[in-house]
Amino acid sequence: MGLATSVRLWCMGASELAEAIRSRQVSSREVVEAHLQRISGVNLAINAVTVVLAEEAMQAADAADQPAVHGTDLPRLHGVPFTIKANIDLAGSPTTVGLKALAGAFAAQDAPAVARMRAAAAIPIGRTNCPTLAVRWHTDSELWGPTVNPWDSAVTPGASSGGEAAALVTGMSPIGLGNDGLGSLRWPAQCCGVSTLKPTLGRIPHATCIEPVVVSIGIQLTVVDGPMARRVADLRAAA
């Protein structure tokens, strides 16, 4: 019996999945399929994942499983899926910031944090919800509606990375990217029960190609992109 049939892959942490792929106990395709199935099964009730990148993710997983790329010296997140908050640029996907006006604002290139995840051979699988303009204490966007706290629908999942936190805790993603100025990583992590890290300012470059690219000095001195995961040990792999 293989790992994919004996274990619910969507329950595993990102580093565990990377090791299982590296040791060929499971394929990247099986891991990505498991998370896509999980999204299909639970996202309707939670509304955490706003865009599913199924076709692109499966193509990337098949490429990751090619015999020529296998070996012991693979990148740290080789073949592992990840999700990206709606206000972080992902090439070919809209950076909506929860706004209807930006529903067609397709990014021409990845944000630095996304580029680093790709360099670690992780695979984008979906975009996650954030409040309109990412400035509220509850995740409810005019474009996608509210995200539900998976533990209790009567309380908030937090914000502004609430969609990311809810996706992680329900197994729709093993690891993801959000950002934080005044608590936007830490507050939803607390509300949903996941792990996060607000990196030191400047530790992870922060940039966007979506207008307006000039932001206030206050935002420049507070907002940083950072990782979220169900397990503390996985944060290092994405930092």
User: Of the residues 28, 173, 184, 195, which is catalytic?
Assistant: 184
User: Of the residues 85, 141, 195, 198, which is catalytic?
Assistant: 85
85 is catalytic: yes
Please classify residue 161 by burial: count the beta carbons closer than 10 Å to its beta carbon, then call 0-12 exposed, 13-18 middle and 19+ buried. buried
184 is catalytic: yes
CA gap 112, 183 in Å, rounded: 21
The answer to whether the beta carbons of residues 30 and 64 sit under 8 Å apart is: no
Q: Is the dihedral of CA 36, 39, 14, 202 positive or negative?
A: positive
Q: Say how far residue 57 (Cα) sits from the centre of its chain.
A: 13
CA gap 76, 68 in Å, rounded: 17
What are the C-alpha distances in Å from 57 to residues 1, 63, 177? 26, 10, 16
Give the catalytic positions in this structure. Answer: 85, 160, 184
